[in-house]
Amino acid sequence: MPTDDADETLMLRYGAGDADAFTQLYARHKGPLYRYLLRQCNQPAVAEELFQDVWLKLIAARTGYAAQAKFTTWLYRLAHNRLIDHYRASARRPPASYADDCPEWAAIPAPMEAQPEHQEDRRQRAEHLLRLLGTLPEAQREAFLLKEEAGLSLEAIAQATGTGRETVKSRLRYALARLRHGLGGTP
């Protein structure tokens, strides 16, 4: 039976052998985590593999979880690391956008074909937003997704991605600017 227990409490209970606690945790976080991975790699098959790996890693580390760390931050830290491993295993270097100093971001214009010419309904505009999101540099997209999907604060995003708070803020600012611009300034 679902409860209102905090994520940290559920994770500790699962570490103590309560499988139902894991079921609740999974129900809470499976959607945001899956979408985070799917939109970062843009391939459903790869996203499913990464998604499964992250949860299996969490299961393996259940007894070592310490309540000092916020569960969501810890979960997305696992996901971020798995994503970086995926980039490296795919013979791709981690995207250049993960560099802390990337001033050219602001100069990159949104694709012209992404800009709507007509007023669309909400669903169409949402799909258009997703396409714009796919054009963002990975680091900006990640910061946006961690904020929107996981609800992490600037500090939590910085912890999860292993970077500084100011860098996260900068990435978010650029991401929002590009999305607004792509949507014609009136999303």
Using CB under 8 A as the criterion, which residues of the chain lie in contact with another protein when the complex forms? 14-19, 22-23, 26, 30-32, 34-35, 38, 48, 51-52, 55-56, 59-60, 62-63, 122-123, 125-127, 129-130, 147-149, 154, 169, 172-173, 176, 179-180, 183, 187
Query: Residue 91 Cβ, how far from another protein at the closest point, in Å?
Result: 26
Quote the CA–CA distance of 136 and 164 in Å, as a whole number. 20
Query: Residue 16 Cβ, how far from another protein at the closest point, in Å?
Result: 5
Angstrom distances, CA of residue 7 to CA of 3, 24, 76: 10, 9, 13
Quote the CA–CA distance of 57 and 50 in Å, as a whole number. 10
Query: Residue 120 Cβ, how far from another protein at the closest point, in Å?
Result: 11
Which CB sits closer to another protein, 77 or 147? 147
Quote the CA–CA distance of 82 and 37 in Å, as a whole number. 10
Which CB sits closer to another protein, 92 or 123? 123
DSSP character string of 91-136: T-PPPGGGSS--GGGGGPPPPGGGS-SS---HHHHHHHHHHHHHHS
Query: Residue 183 Cβ, how far from another protein at the closest point, in Å?
Result: 8
Which CB sits closer to another protein, 69 or 172? 172
Which CB sits closer to another protein, 48 or 100? 48
CB under 8 Å to 35, separation ≥6 — which residues? 145, 149
CB under 8 Å to 109, separation ≥6 — which residues? 181
Which CB sits closer to another protein, 26 or 87? 26
Query: Residue 185 Cβ, how far from another protein at the closest point, in Å?
Result: 11
